[in-house]
């Protein structure tokens, strides 16, 4: 398996846990949030009564609700954020949200009874929290995954994930900045719309 395919595969596995992260009405801490909600998502994946489409839709819906997409959008665009006008920012947030959510929702058939173990939690710069986990895979080595969460409105939501030290935000920042340096906001928005429209054949 190539490094690119291995990273893509691991990112899908991480998505099992990432998309589950949420905060309940009692506002539990980041570790408690991960521990409780990972089980909920794994239950969806293991539910034999669900069709692949229903399972995918359930994961996508969780993703829509649990990620802090406005913050992730700013982090991904970084210096280019100021070059987007308000309408373009709104459009990017929508397309980026759909891009990530459907990417992993479409790949739930790759789930192979992986188990997620929470191994630690620590504070990070700016009041963020890092929840450290290990994904145990039946036929491969375990993988270390760090989730960065930020509290907003009393709820902890994910803003980035690192797989063996490789950041999801940084990964897409590099890809998108290359496009932006060549064609600006509209070129990136066009590419994202095209990817979302034909996401079934999209590669990571």
Mean pLDDT of 104-127: 81
pLDDT band with cut points at 50, 70 and 90 for residue 5 = low
Determine if the pTM surpasses 0.75: yes
- Looking at residue 201, its pLDDT comes to 43
- Does residue 14 or residue 55 have the better pLDDT? 55
Residues whose CB falls within 8 Å of the CB of residue 83, separated by 6 or more in sequence, listed in order: 180, 184, 185
In whole numbers, what is the pLDDT of the chain averaged over residues? Answer: 83
Say whether pLDDT at 86 is over 90. yes
Lowest mean pLDDT among 7-11, 62-66, 127-131, 171-175: 7-11
Q: For residue 199, what pLDDT is reported?
A: 61
Q: How confident is the model at residue 104 (pLDDT cuts 50, 70, 90)?
A: low
Query: According to CATH, what is the number of the domain 3-201?
Result: 3.10.450.710
For 132-166, the pLDDT digits (tens) are: 999 898 888 999 989 999 998 888 898 998 999 99
Cα 199 from chain centroid?
16
* DSSP structure string for 94-160: HHHHHHHHHHHHTTGGG--S-EEEEEEEEE-GGG-EEEEEEEE-TTS--EEEEEEEEEETTEEEEEE
Pairing of strands 115-123, 129-136: antiparallel
Domain boundaries, the chain: 3-201
188 vs 182: CA distance, rounded Å: 10
Confidence of residue 203 (pLDDT cuts 50, 70, 90): very low
* Residue 67 or residue 12, greater confidence: 67
Question: What's the pLDDT at 46?
Answer: 85
**Cα distances (Å, whole numbers) of residue 176 to 15, 76, 78, 145:** 20, 8, 10, 23
Q: Which residue(s) pair with 162 in the sheet?
A: 146, 167
């Amino acid at each position: 398996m190539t490094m690119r395919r291995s990273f893509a595969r691991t990112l899908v596995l991480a998505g099992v846990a990432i998309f589950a992260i949420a905060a309940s009405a009692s506002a539990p801490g980041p570790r408690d949030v991960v521990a409780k909600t990972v089980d909920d998502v794994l239950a969806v994946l293991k539910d034999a009564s669900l069709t692949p489409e229903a399972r995918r839709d359930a994961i996508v819906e969780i993703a829509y609700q649990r990620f802090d997409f406005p913050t992730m959008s700013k982090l991904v665009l970084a210096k280019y954020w100021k070059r987007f006008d308000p309408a373009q920012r709104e459009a990017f947030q929508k397309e980026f949200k759909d891009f990530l959510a459907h990417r992993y929702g479409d790949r739930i058939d790759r789930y192979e009874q992986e188990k997620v173990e929470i191994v630690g939690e620590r504070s990070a710069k700016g009041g963020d929290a890092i929840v450290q986990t290990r994904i145990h895979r039946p036929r491969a080595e375990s993988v270390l995954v760090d989730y960065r969460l930020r509290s907003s409105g009393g709820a902890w939501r994910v803003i980035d994930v690192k797989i063996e030290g490789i950041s999801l935000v940084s990964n897409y920042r590099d890809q998108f900045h290359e496009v932006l340096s060549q064609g600006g906001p509209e070129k990136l928005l066009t590419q994202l719309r095209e990817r979302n429209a034909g996401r079934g054949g999209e590669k990571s």
